[in-house]
Amino acid sequence: MDNIPPITADMAPTLTGPLVVALVYDGLCTFEFAIVAEIFGLARPEMGAGWYRFAACAVEPGPLRAQGGLRFHVDGGLDLLDQADLIVIPGWKGADVPVPPYLRHRLLAAHGRGARLASICSGAFVLAATGLLDGNRAATHWRYADQMRATYPAIQLDAAVLYVQTDRIFTSAGSAAGIDLLLHIIRGDFGPDAANSVARRLVVPAHRSGGQAQFVERPVQKQGQGRLAPLLDQVRAEPQRPWRVGDMARAALMSERTFLRRFMEATGQSPGDWLAMVRVDAAKRLLEATGWPVEEVARLAGFNNTASLRHHFTRATGLAPRDYRDRFQAPAVSRIRTDGR
């Protein structure tokens, strides 16, 4: 630990926050790595000295290649894994490419001492090779779902979600879902205001409704999607209304049968599942931004009662509403809360 290797020129020496280390390998998934570097490695003086430190770690000797015809050298080596608070695996060489035993052992040791591990897209295969995902829920890109299930049947793979958190292990779906996952990590570490600030600078939503099922290859009829867009916006703006399939079909000027078909084509979800996610997102915002009782949050988000809120919320986030509030509510709101929940 005393012989600390050079980290990167990107790392401001005044930062004291968690050390995030991104794995780098020959055949690097350029976009996935760039996500990690952008979110954790970009200077953000507005976040203060406790913000993340960032380093890249080469898992094999260089020079290395990256997608897009790039060749590069990396300052940091595997010793960085012994110091990391969060290790991110930005994709992998391929679902069929074995993970070197020395890398598996390093990741297991890091996790054993308390480090968090996160993967983006095919990076889940690296975590799967360690055995840490066995018996746990995990995510990866929908195109790799069948292969993941066949190769690692002990993993409870969910190919519909954007990301999954199981204790100190995080997995995400396709490349851009890595942004959703990393914002989720920021939200847990520094609160919703910090995650929202980073999202604004990236010009992306802090929360995305639905999962990756809506992106599975299927013909999407642009005409139907266009006609649904105003309805979807209206539902998001008024989640507390008692939306029924018949009401939504009439608002979209479609028969129920046509509406159901077009809705699935446009969103990858049934109206009921999509509406539940919209209401969960509304509940998240209320829990983060207000000190209102959970009963009031349930009503304003469109759930019939707190039991319904708890069911859908826990299924979507892995946390009960009260636990989510305790973890993600802005400190200023928490200080003025009077009801205790």
pLDDT tens for 240-299 read: 999 999 999 999 999 999 999 989 888 778 999 899 989 998 998 899 888 899 999 999
In 232-269, which positions are buried (b, 16+ CB within 10 angstroms) versus exposed (e)? beebeeebeeebeeeebbeebebeeeebbebbbbbbbb
| Of residues 333 and 312, more confidently modeled | 312
Query: What pLDDT sits at residue 333?
Result: 52
pLDDT tier, 58 (very low <50, low <70, confident <90, very high otherwise): very high
Tell me what the mean pLDDT of segment 180-207 comes to. Answer: 88
Query: What pLDDT sits at residue 113?
Result: 96
- Taking the domains of the chain in order of start, what are their residue ranges? 19-202, 218-268, 274-336
* pTM, rounded to two decimals: 0.65
Residue 290 CB partners (closer than 8 Å, separation 6+) = 297, 333
pLDDT tier, 327 (very low <50, low <70, confident <90, very high otherwise): confident
What class has domain 19-202? alpha beta
Q: Which CATH superfamily is domain 274-336 in?
A: Homeodomain-like (1.10.10.60)
Query: What pLDDT sits at residue 174?
Result: 86
Q: Looking at the predicted structure, is the pLDDT value of residue 337 above 80?
A: no
**CA atoms within a 13 Å half-sphere pointing along the CA-CB vector of 279:** 29
Helix (H) or strand (E) holding 55: strand 53-58
